[in-house]
Amino acid sequence: MSRFLFRRLLAMIPLLVGITFISFLAMSLVPGDFLSNLKLDPRFSPEVIRQMEAQFGLDQPLFVRYVKWMWGVLHLDLGISIQYRVPVASLIASRAFNTIILSASSMIFSWALAIPIGIAVAVNQNSIWDRILSFLAFFGMSVPNFFFAFLMMYFALKTGWFPIGGTFSVDYSSLDAWSKIADRVNHLLLPVFVLGVAGMAGLMRLMRSQIIEIKNSDFVRTARAKGLSERVVIYKHVLRNALNPFVTMAGYSLGDLLGGAALVEAVMNLQGLGLLLLNAVRSLDIYLVMGSVLMGTVLLLVGNLLADIGLVAVDPRVDFSSVSES
């Protein structure tokens, strides 16, 4: 276990360097930078522009800027946002809570419904409920999240049952503690539903196909021949073997916590990291983009590591030597 962890953590270093350097290079190759628009503004003199270029290191070669940024990362300094003029770390931290709550809530919602529904339709294969729920799953998978978000906002507008976008109400600061929590939850309901439905559709189809494939295997027939009830066969033997891809998906989902809801946040005007990152890319705020890329990459690598450890825990056929080689 310790040897496996050491090797995986060591392998993360070149991956982080490679991914961040390619991202830094891509951002630097885009024509212009954040100051390009300011150069067209007569309120900013050429001297002020030169001072800002020197302040943010934009007058230095690409490799020098990357090395300085990486040196700052090693000292837990992600740089200064050119657009907001505040440390990138504090800016990301101020938005991370909203995105993590949204992504985690939608993940819990989708998984809590998808797995039992997937099991039910697989056990009752080709029944009327299987056909209806499979149709709804295909529908949920085919509708883009941003379009579904528009539909839900239209629904909120027509019914008045939910807030029309936003993270909290205008009078949020004047509310008491419990009212603030209720207000946050009320604004989260529709975004969680939008993200959860899309995730639930894919998970349900995956669980259904896994159960159907495994329940017809030889070891399941042997379990039935021993006289075990169908409930025991499904939940003790079939389900345990069907969980492998879900453990892997759970690990990769960790990398989606920060940016997986970007389009929904943009449509519903939610003050999260997804909307922040979209604005940063659009304005070429390179250090804010790089801070988001770094955090997303770290979460993805850590999620992959946790997924491999989870596979060893749930499947006795898998050991650390096999997952380290895969």
Residue 317: the pLDDT is 60
| Residue 217 to residue 144: CA distance in whole angstroms | 36
Please give the DSSP secondary-structure letter assigned to residue 164. Answer: S
Q: Cβ contacts of residue 167 below 8 Å, gap of 6+? A: 98, 184, 187, 269, 270, 271, 272
Residue 98: the pLDDT is 80
Residue 254: the pLDDT is 66
User: Following CA atoms 83, 273, 256, 89 in sequence, which dihedral angle do they give, to the nearest 10 degrees?
Assistant: 70
Domains and CATH numbers, the chain: 2-74 (no CATH), 95-317 (1.10.3720.10)
Kindly report the pTM of this predicted structure: 0.72
Task: Calculate the alpha carbon distances from 72 to 40, 77, 79, 83, 197 in Å.
Answer: 31, 5, 7, 19, 40
* Type of residue found at 282: R
Q: Cβ contacts of residue 95 below 8 Å, gap of 6+? A: 271, 272, 273, 276
Residue 256: the pLDDT is 65
Q: Given the structure tokens 């440390």, which residue do they identify?
A: 87
Angular region, 87: left φ>0, alpha ψ -120 to 50, beta rest: beta
| Residue 34 to residue 289: CA distance in whole angstroms | 12
Q: What crossing angle do the helices spanning 128-142 and 88-123 adopt, rounded to 10°?
A: 160
| Residue 230 to residue 32: CA distance in whole angstroms | 65
**Alpha carbon of residue 292 to chain centroid:** 12
Interior/surface letters 136-150, b for 16+ CB within 10 angstroms, e for the rest: ebeebeeeebeebbe
Do residues 197 and 140 make contact, with C-beta atoms less than 8 angstroms apart?
yes
Residue 210: the pLDDT is 78
Handedness of CA 119, 120, 126, 132 (dihedral sign): negative
Residue 321: the pLDDT is 56
Q: Which tokens hold the place of 67?
A: 């090395």
Burial class of residue 19 in the structure, from the number of CB atoms within 10 Å of its CB (0-12 exposed, 13-18 middle, 19+ buried): middle
Question: pLDDT 10s per residue in the chain (326 long)?
Answer: 677 777 778 888 888 888 888 888 887 777 766 677 677 667 777 777 787 777 777 777 888 888 888 888 888 888 888 888 888 888 888 887 888 888 788 888 888 888 888 888 877 777 888 788 777 777 777 777 777 778 888 888 888 788 777 777 777 777 778 887 887 888 888 888 888 887 777 788 777 877 777 777 777 777 777 777 777 777 777 777 777 777 777 666 766 666 556 777 777 777 777 778 877 887 788 888 888 888 878 887 887 777 777 766 666 565 555 555 55
